[in-house]
Amino acid sequence: MKYKGCVVKLILLISFFEGSNSVSYTDFDAFFKNITSGKNINLRPVLDHKSKVDVHMFFHLTYIQEFDEVEGKLSLSGYFNISWIDQTLTWNSTENGIEQFTLEEHIIWKPSFIIGNSYDGVTEKNQDHSVMRVQSNGVVTWTPGDNYNIVCNADVSRYPFDTQSCSLLILPWGYTFGEINVIPTYDYVVQWWFTEQHTWELIETSVVKGENLPMLEFSMKLKRYPMFYVLNLILPICLMIVINIFVFLLPPESGERVGYAVTVLLAIAVFLTISSENLPATSSPRISSISILLFADVCISAFTVLIVILSLRYYHRKDEYPVTKFMRGFVNISRKVRCEVCCFRKKNEKYYSEKENEEQIKWTDVGKEFDIVCGIFITVVVFIVHALYIIDVAV
């Protein structure tokens, strides 16, 4: 009980000091009208008109909405934090207890900026009606925010394992080096409340001040998450071209060889169409690796169709037409090479002799050897083409 009176006195003392530091609405309104009256928003807030206004700026990126590679457009969400010293807006905060206040009206000077590489055309940023905060030392902070569509030409040469570099350019509109000095607050793009995007990963940012213009370049390096495209585009393409090789294992009597080969060719052509819709119609700096791979697969598949047709012609040629000397030599060389690789020498010497081959070789034998040689050749070509693609996108 003896401390009760002390506690009450302490509470009253705190209340007295808080009351003494409070500012009434009437006092604040009078202060506001007094300090903002007579301001010319067209004049830079410097006491010496020949001096520069140092404008400090940083960009806070909150979300990457979309990157359209076909149109070359990057959509961002974020805001700029722009601050400068207004030499005509300073006061002694100890006299009235007011340390800072906010403005929502365009009644004091603020710099005019534009997005230098805006996709939607030139848009002036001084028309933004977001809150400005003014401190007693004259520091004015302005935080305009918006959705920004900027031009970013995509380099899809390694699609879908590509990395894109995009920049947001902001520069004063109508001011020269002698009037405004734009200074980056940080040498990177701020990401305090950044939300990750499911298609692109932000791996690196930087801020560069322009040399010939009073502008800032906010650069962002984006890396695509490739797994979706690997599962839905690249692996089906590889599967199509691999099963295309098995056309030579179909019996020629089935009558399905040509239909099978044409079906695979059309399937690869469909994937070529799908990939071309997602890529820009440009060859700079070079054509996409996936487009080259698909074109090569289409050529291989078309070549396979021609080989199958030619092979069936050999299979169904009547025996009354003698096998030419060239085809006999082709069959003999093919058999000998295969037996040197796969068979024992004894079997090779016992089974093959030139005279026996000349008597036994028929058009069906020519078709079989033709299938084997062409199947091995196409398999090697497919392996080389896809190995070159992997090396290109990896290295």
Split into its structural domains, the chain has a count of 2
- What CATH number is given to the structural domain containing 270? 1.20.58.390
* Same-domain pairing of 61 and 165: yes
Mean pLDDT of 140-158: 90
Provide the percentage of residues in the chain whose pLDDT is more than 90.
26
* Same-domain pairing of 159 and 242: no
What is the bridge-based pairing of β-strands 180-184 and 53-68? parallel
The answer to whether position 9 is within a domain reads no
* pLDDT one-digit tens code per residue, 169-203: 998 888 888 888 899 999 999 999 999 988 999 99
Q: Which band of pLDDT confidence, cut at 50, 70 and 90, is reported for residue 95?
A: confident
Q: Are 181 and 214 in contact (CB under 8 A)?
A: yes
* Same-domain pairing of 52 and 179: yes
What is the number of helices (H) and of strands (E) in the chain?
11, 11
* Same-domain pairing of 80 and 102: yes
* Same-domain pairing of 256 and 158: no
* Same-domain pairing of 28 and 160: yes
For the chain, state the CA radius of gyration.
38
Domain stop point among 175, 202, 225: 225
User: What distance in Å separates the CA atoms of residue 360 and residue 319, rounded to the nearest whole number?
Assistant: 11
* Same-domain pairing of 307 and 182: no
The pTM score is 0.76
Secondary structure (H, E, C), 360-383: HCCHHHHHHHHHHHHHHHHHHHHH
Position 352 scores a pLDDT of 46
* Same-domain pairing of 55 and 105: yes
* Same-domain pairing of 200 and 261: no
* Same-domain pairing of 133 and 195: yes
Domain interval for residue 210: 23-225
* Same-domain pairing of 215 and 288: no
Q: Whole-number mean pLDDT of the chain?
A: 82
* Cis amide prior to 172 (ω within 30 degrees): no
The answer to whether position 191 is within a domain reads yes
* Cis amide prior to 160 (ω within 30 degrees): yes
The answer to whether position 344 is within a domain reads no
* pLDDT one-digit tens code per residue, 290-346: 888 888 999 999 999 998 888 888 777 777 677 777 777 777 777 777 666 565 444
First to last CA, the chain: 81
* Same-domain pairing of 247 and 214: no
The answer to whether position 357 is within a domain reads no
